[in-house]
Amino acid sequence: MTSSYQVVWKGPVNRRSGLGIASREYVRALRAQGVNVTVSAEGGRNSHISSNRKVLIYHYSPSTLDIKKERQRFGTIIINTVWETTRIPLSWIRPINQADAVCVPSLQNKQAMRNSGIKVPIYIVPHGVHSQIYKPAKKRMPSKISNNKFTFISIFGFQHRKNPEALLRAYWEEFSSADNVRLIIKTNGYSPGENEQWIRRQIHAYKARLNITKNTAPIEISTRYLATKSLRSIYAKGHAFVLPTRGEGVGLPLLESLASGVPVITTGWGGHMDYLTEHNSFLVKYKLRPPAASMNRNSSISRKFRSLFSEKGQLWAEPDIGSLRRQMRKAYENPQLCLMKGQRGRRDVLGHSWNRAGSSLKRVIEQVIRTKK
C-alpha cells in the first residue's frame, strides 16, 4: 500500500561518494517500504497531494537549506545528515533547529548534535550494507611456502580525516620486506589535480621526510573508480581491513568489510562503534584532540577540508601509532584469529540491511507528521 503522504528527497543521489551511495539507498529503501518518494530532480510528480502531506527530506549540507522557501511547499521538513567530530559546524545549527527533526546514522552523531545545541528531535536511522553483495570469499591462508602474502586492505578518500599518514607510517615502521605481507590501498583525490601521480608523490615525499631507508613491505595503490564488482574483489583479497580514521559518521567501507568476513583494524571512536566490537575488530587506542592540531603538522599529506573541521570546540580521535602497529602485528601473526573475527563480523552485520534503514526512516517520517497535527 502506497503512503498517503509524499516524500520529496533532495540529496546527492548521483554522486559516487559514500554520501551518494547512502542517498540512493535510502530512496530505494523507502520505496521498498511503500513510501511515495520523488527525487527532486525528477520533477513534481503527484502534485495533487496537498503541501501539508508533503515531506521534504534534505540530504545535502544543512547550511545550504533555504528553510523559508521550503516551508512554502512542505508541511514537514526533516534533515538527514552525518558528521564526524564532537560538534557540528556552527553554520548547521540554525537550519537544523528550524527543521522539524534531524536524522543521523549513529550514536556518536546524536551526541554531536546534542553537544552543539540542537533542540529539535534527533532520530538515529542507521545505514545498511548489502550482505548478499558483500560476502565472504574463499581465500588462502598466508604462507611463505606458497607465496600467499598476508594482505591488509584499506579503502578511503585521500583526506586528512582518514589519516593516511598514520596508516603508512605504522606499516612502514612495523613491517619490512622480510615479512610475508602487503598493503592494498584503494583511494581517490577530490579534484582533477589530486590524481594517482599526485597521491604517489605525496606518499613518496612523506616517506623521505620520515627518513625511512629500510626495505619496506610492498604497497599497491589504486585510485581508479571501481564498480561494486571490482570493489568486492579487493575485500576478497583482504585478511584484515585497516583504517586509523580520526572520525566516521558511519564508515561504509568498515561495514562492507565486515559483511565480506574481513575483520577491521581501526580507531575505537566514532559512528562505527555502533557495530564494531573487540569480537569482530582490532581496536586502536586514541585521544580526542582538536582537528587543527594535526592539520598544522608537516606530516599531513592529504586534503584537509579545514573550513569544516577546525572550528572552536570540535574534537576528533588521534589514534596512537604504537597501538596501531601492535594491532597490525597481532593480525598479521594470527591469521586464524582474523578469520574468526571476520566470521563474527559477518554475523554481526547481517541485520544491518538497507531494508531496516528504510523501515526506521519510514517510522520517523510518520512520527514527525503525527506530532505536527
184 and 216, same domain (yes or no): yes
Whole-number pLDDT of residue 44:
41
Residue that is written with C-alpha cell 528531535 in the block = 121
- Binning pLDDT at 50, 70 and 90, where does residue 49 land? low
**Is the domain of 232 the same as that of 334?**
yes
Confidence of residue 140 (pLDDT cuts 50, 70, 90): confident
8 A C-beta contact, residue 89 and residue 115? no
Residue predicted with more confidence, 90 or 228: 90
Please check whether residues 263 and 358 belong to one and the same domain. Answer: no
Geometric angle at alpha carbon 232, from 199 and 362, rounded to 5°: 105
Confidence class of residue 16 from pLDDT cuts 50, 70 and 90?
Answer: confident
CA 322 to CA 269: how far, in whole Å? 17
CA atoms within 13 A on the CB side of 235: 28
- Pair 191, 230 in one domain: yes
User: Do both 296 and 366 map to the same domain?
Assistant: no
Question: Would you say residue 135 lies in a domain?
Answer: no
Tally of CB atoms within 10 A around 187: 20
Range of the domain at 10: 6-128+353-372
User: Residue 50: is it exposed, middle or buried by C-beta count within 10 angstroms (0-12/13-18/19+)?
Assistant: exposed
Query: In this predicted structure, what is the pLDDT of residue 216?
Result: 94
Compute, in degrees rounded to 10, the torsion defined by CA atoms 245, 357, 309, 244: 0
Maximum C-alpha span of the chain: 70
> Does residue 136 belong to any structural domain of this protein?
no
Mean pLDDT of the 34-52 span: 68
Tens digits of per-residue pLDDT, 207-241?
A: 999 999 889 999 999 998 888 778 999 999 999 99
> Is it the case that residue 166 has pLDDT exceeding 60?
yes
Q: How far apart are CA 11 and CA 26, in angstroms?
A: 10
* 40, part of any domain: yes
CA–CA distance, 75 with 77 (Å, rounded to integer): 7
Q: Is the pLDDT of residue 42 over 90?
A: no
The verdict on 367 and 343 lying in the same domain is no
45 has pLDDT over 70? no
Same domain for 320 and 358: no
Distance CA 266, CA 80 (A): 26
Distance CA 226, CA 194 (A): 17
Q: Which of 55, 18, 12, 52 has its CA nearest to residue 35?
A: 55
Measure the CA–CA gap between 206 and 169, rounded to whole angstroms: 9
- Give pLDDT tens digits for 272-312: 999 999 999 999 999 999 999 999 888 899 999 999 998 99
Q: Is residue 326 part of a domain?
A: yes
CA–CA separation, 340 and 117 (whole Å)? 42
pLDDT of 2 reads 63
Residue 142 in any domain: the answer is: no
Do 331 and 362 have their domain in common? no
Average pLDDT over residues 99-109: 98
> Mind listing the pLDDT tens digit for each residue in 318-363?
999 999 999 999 999 999 999 999 999 999 999 999 999 999 999 9
Residue 84 belongs to a domain with what CATH number? 3.40.50.2000
Residues 248 and 162 in one domain: yes
* 217, 179 Cβ separation under 8 angstroms: yes
Contact between 99 and 70 (Cβ < 8 Å): no
Q: Is residue 139 part of a domain?
A: no
Name the residue with cell 585521500.
158
Q: Is residue 277 part of a domain?
A: yes
Report yes or no on 243 lying in a domain. Answer: yes
What is the number of structural domains in the chain? 2
Cβ distance 263 to 341 under 8 Å?
A: yes
Indicate if 166 and 224 belong to the same structural domain.
yes
Statement to judge: residues 319 and 357 lie in one domain:
no
pLDDT at position 69: 95
What mean pLDDT comes out for the span 165-178?
97
Instruction: Based on the fold, state whether residues 368 and 256 are members of the same structural domain.
Output: no
